[in-house]
Amino acid sequence: MDPLQTAANYDLLASHWAREGFIRENGIAQHERAIRLLGRTGRAIDVGCGSSGRIIGLLLGHGFAVEGLDFSKEMLAHAKKKHPGVVFHHADICIWKPTASYDFISAWDSIWHIPLAQQESVLRKLCAALTPRGVLIFTTGAVDTPGEVTNPCEGQPLYHAALGVSQTLRLIDQFGCVCRHLEQDQFPEKHLYLIVQKP
């Protein structure tokens, strides 16, 4: 699915994740693990920050200087209301160029929405944007081979793609980083998260 279409679909879903009843703890324990591994604060960015503001709030609470990035205007509108002091980028991660290095990068349930053909270049970009000893946490599909699928969510089609576990680990190594943690945290669902560190 074209990223512009994905962004348009998320515009229609923004209020779903912004509402107060949304599961606020989704991904928080995993981020706490990644923050402990980093062992410091610094500059952070939430890639595909969405509308809930929960990860940005967590990072701010730990003392990070935080930025957010999302391709959905409506997602960003909600995020800005919750965190008016945060710098937000309205951009497609596939073409966005970081202007700084980051100590902590989160891409929780976000970059798996980009086209399969662009997954490798985005992972390379995120690894390259880390400071020495910087940490990246991201999710992907717990699948053995590359693939893509479109499933409905609240009436909107959402595209997901994954490179496969083995290929993802090879690329992390190739891009000069080390996988510190890998977990299929919602088993039997094929939801996989990784914590990666630049040596």
pLDDT digits over 25-48, tens only? 889 999 999 999 999 999 999 999
In this model, does residue 57 exceed pLDDT 50? yes
| Percent of the chain residues topping a pLDDT of 70 | 85
How would you label 22-57 residue by residue, b for 16+ Cβ within 10 Å and e otherwise?
eeeeebeebbebbbebbeeebbbbbbbbbbbbbbbb
Least confident of 49-63, 99-113, 146-160: 146-160
- Residue-level pLDDT at 153: 60
Question: pLDDT category, 75, cuts 50, 70, 90?
Answer: confident
Q: Burial, 17: exposed, middle or buried (Cβ in 10 Å; 0-12, 13-18, 19+)?
A: buried
Q: Is 53 helix (H, G, I), strand (E, B) or coil?
A: coil
pLDDT level of residue 8 (50, 70, 90 thresholds): low
pTM of the model: 0.91
Q: What is the pLDDT of residue 37?
A: 98
Taken in order of first residue, the domains within the chain and their CATH numbers are: 3-14+25-155+164-197 (3.40.50.150)
For residue 96 the two structure tokens come to 């966005």
**C-beta neighbour count of 79 within 10 angstroms:** 26
pLDDT at residue 5, as a whole number: 52
Q: What pLDDT is recorded for position 17?
A: 47
CB 196 within 8 A of CB 181: no
Q: Are 172 and 140 spatial neighbours (Cβ–Cβ below 8 Å)? A: no
Helix 54-61 × helix 28-38 angle, to 10°: 30
Arithmetic mean of pLDDT, 114-138: 97
Cα distance between residue 27 and residue 73, in whole Å: 23
pLDDT tens-digit readout, 83-114: 999 999 999 999 999 989 999 999 999 999 89
Answer with the residue of higher pLDDT: 102 or 152. 102
Residue in 90, 163, 176, 164 with CA at minimum distance from that of residue 127 = 176
Over range 170-196, report the average pLDDT.
97
Round to whole Å and give the CA distance between 146 and 79. Answer: 32
